Structures are given as structure tokens and as C-alpha cells.
Amino acid sequence: MSERYDCTECQESLYGQKYVLKEEQPHCITCYEALYSNSCEVCKKLISCTSKDLSYKSRHWHSDCFLCNKCTRSLVDRPFATKGDLLMCTDCYCHEYSAKCHACLKTIMPGTKKMEHKGNSWHENCFICNHCQQTIGTKSFVKKDNNNYCMSCYERLFALQCIHCKKPITTGGISYHDKPWHKECFVCTGCKLQLAGQRFTSRDDFAYCLECFCSLFAKKCISCNKPISGKTKKALFDLQNLHDAARRVHPCMCAFYFLMV
């Protein structure tokens, strides 16, 4: 008597039937598929043991169902990427999720060099000065009216020019008589001391520190030849009421004489 050859599960005879061995146990097709076949992620149908079961991270597809979610091209033999549950060919993935160049609006493929600034991205070659059209690369630049300029173009085009030396003012310029100056260029006409942050006064459009102004233009004491500043004038006025306060006027004690002349 020949040995019976039955399905391990349903005990039906496998004689003349297709069957599948699973761990060396014969299964009829129906039992095998019920027990071991996976359902296709897309069409939800069973992936029969006669068709190819494509699997990725414990998800399964018929090879006909393994398609790019965007362009529906087959992903069999094509590189793909996933975003959440979505499968995409790498072309679609890049197009969908990679940064786009702010200048040419094309996708910046992952792995290529890109420039980023305030949430915008550029191909390295697209990040150019709006004026000279040279790539800016890692050089410093200035953004103005949504355009980028290399430093030298920006200075030539937009930066204020110092009225004194005619060179562009990039930082910390000052304004005097509505004209821009470098701090370093705005100096006392007399002693060349920087006047920014100092008290100064002007005469005939020239600026002077108080000291120079006083010694050059203020009335001078005819006795000691020192300038009579506002403070001194006040003291002189007081002196008219306080005849004995001469000491307070000038160290040289000449104010009294000044009043007398």
C-alpha cells in the first residue's frame, strides 16, 4: 500500500493536486494561502503562492500593485522612498519633498550643494549677486528688495558714501547736516579729534570740538587771552551783583579787570 500523501491541514489527498511544502509539510493551495499568504497593501487581495509577493517592512504587494503613489510607475526594479505610508519613486520623492531653488524653482537634489538663507534655498550656482551675476558662495552678501548682492556691488550701488572720503559707509556712520560721514572722518577741523559722541559746534560749515571752537572763535579775556566760555560769561554776570567773586571767574583772577575795561 503506497503511503498516503495528504494536506497537513485539511487532510485532503494531494494526489494529482498542486501543493506547497511548508517546513517540509505538504499543504493544498487553499490551505497554504489561507494560512501563509499575505494580502496586498493596495488591492487588499491575497497574494497567491503563484504570484510574486513583494514585501517591504512587513507590508506586501502584488508586483502589479507595487507602484509609485505619485506617478503610478512600477517600483519593481526602481529605487523608491517612503513618506509615511506612501511609496514613491525617488524622482517623485525628490520633487515632492526636497527643497526647491529660490531662483530657478527646480528641485535641489539631496546631496548636492545648496545655499540656505532665512528659510530659502538655492542651488550653489543659482545663488548669485543680482548685479554682477557672480556666485556668492560663502562670501558675505546683503539682501535688498528680495535680491541678493555681493558686498562690493551692494556698497557701490546702495551704501551711503561718506561726504568726506567718498568711500561707502557700511557700519556706524553718522549724519551731520543731513550728510553721511564715517565716524573716523567726522573730526574737529582744528585738532582732528573724532567728534562722534562729543559736544561740538560748527562755524561756516566746519565742525569744531568745544575746546578748539572756544580758543579759535570765542571772545578772549583781554588780560589772560583765554577764551571766555558761556560759563565764564555767566560768572561775569554774577560778578556784577557780587563784587567780591572775582576768584570764581578765571584762575588768573582777571575777570575783574575785564569788567573794568
Pairing of strands 147-150, 160-161: unpaired
Rounded CA-CA distance 30/5 in Å is 16
Is 250 near Zn ion (CB under 5 A)?
yes
H or E stretch covering 19 = strand 19-22
In the range 45-74, which residues lie near Zn ion by CB under 5 A?
62, 65, 68, 70-71
Among 21, 76, 216, 252, contact with Zn ion (rule: CB under 5 A): 252
Is 40 near Zn ion (CB under 5 A)?
yes
In the range 204-233, which residues lie near Zn ion by CB under 5 A?
209, 212, 221, 223-224
State the virtual CA torsion across 78, 79, 85, 91 in degrees, nearest 10.
Answer: -90
47 backbone dihedrals φ, ψ, rounded to 5°: -90, 105
Is 89 near Zn ion (CB under 5 A)?
yes
User: Closest separation between CB of residue 241 and Zn ion, Å?
Assistant: 20
- The size of the interface with Zn ion (CB under 5 A), counted in residues, is 41
- Between vectors from CA 156 to CA 197 and to CA 185, what angle results, nearest 5°? 25
SS (H, E, C) 85-125: CEEEEHHHHHHHHCCEECCCCCECCCCCCEEEECCEEEEHH
Cell match 557700519: residue? 171
Is 101 near Zn ion (CB under 5 A)?
yes
User: Closest separation between CB of residue 91 and Zn ion, Å?
Assistant: 6
Nearer to Zn ion, 99 or 224 (CB): 224
Rounded CA-CA distance 229/215 in Å is 9
Residue 29, classed as helix, strand or coil, is helix
State the virtual CA torsion across 177, 179, 183, 185 in degrees, nearest 10.
Answer: -100
Stretch that binds Zn ion, among 109-117, 182-190, 198-206, 236-244 (CB under 5 A): 182-190
Is 129 near Zn ion (CB under 5 A)?
yes
Among 7, 115, 236, 239, contact with Zn ion (rule: CB under 5 A): 7
User: Closest separation between CB of residue 144 and Zn ion, Å?
Assistant: 12
Give the binding site for Zn ion (CB under 5 A). 7, 9-10, 28, 31, 40, 42-43, 62, 65, 68, 70-71, 89, 92, 101, 103-104, 123, 126, 129, 131-132, 150, 153, 162, 164-165, 182, 185, 188, 190-191, 209, 212, 221, 223-224, 250, 252, 254
